[in-house]
Amino acid sequence: MGTFMATLAALRLSGMDRLLKKCCIRSSLVKKCLAECLGVFIIIVFGCGSVAQVVTSKDKAGQYLSINLGFALGTTFGIHVSRGVSGAHLNPAVTLSLCFLGRHPWFDLPFYALSQLLGAFLAAATVALQYYGTESIKTCSLPHYWYCCGQFRLVPCVCV
C-alpha cells in the first residue's frame, strides 16, 4: 500500500510539474515588465486608496497621517514585490535616468514605461471602482468629466 501511494504521489507531482512548465513565462523582459506593472499597481492602490478613504469620509476614517502611511507602505510593498525581478524602478523617470547612466539597456525603456503606465491606470481604475457610487461622492458632470477638482485627469474623475 505504501508503494502505491508513493507512486500515486509521484504521478500527481509530475502532472503538476507539467502544468507549471506550461504556465511559466520564459521571456525575461515580460517577467520584468509584469513585475514593474504589479509594483506600480501596489503603490497606487495603497497610496491613492488611502487618499480616497480620507477624502470620502471627510477625515472621519483617517487623516493626513494615514495618507502618508498608505504611500509609505505602498512604496515599501511595491519595491519588495518587484525588486528581485526588475530592480524596482517603478517610475519611468528612474528608468530613463538609469538608461542615461548606462546601467539599464535603452531597448527596455519603452517596455518598462508602458508597463508602469499600465499598472498606474489599472490601480487608478481599481480605486475609482471601489469608491464609485458611495454616498459621499458624486460623479462630475459632462463638461467637467475630464477636468475636475482643479486638475486635468486622464481617467474620469470623482468630485467630492
Cell of 111: 517596455
Task: Give the C-alpha separation, 92 to 84, whole Å.
Answer: 18
For 21-77, the pLDDT digits (tens) are: 778 888 899 999 999 999 999 999 999 899 888 888 878 888 889 999 999 999 999
Structural domains of the chain in order of their starting residue, each with its CATH number: 29-135 (1.20.1080.10)
Radius of gyration of the chain from its Cα atoms, rounded to whole angstroms: 21
Q: 158 by DSSP, 3-state: which? A: strand
pTM here?
Answer: 0.75
For 82-112, the pLDDT digits (tens) are: 999 999 999 999 999 999 999 999 999 999 9
**E strand segments, the chain:** 138-139, 147-148, 151-152, 158-159
Q: How many CB atoms lie within 10 A of CB 32?
A: 19
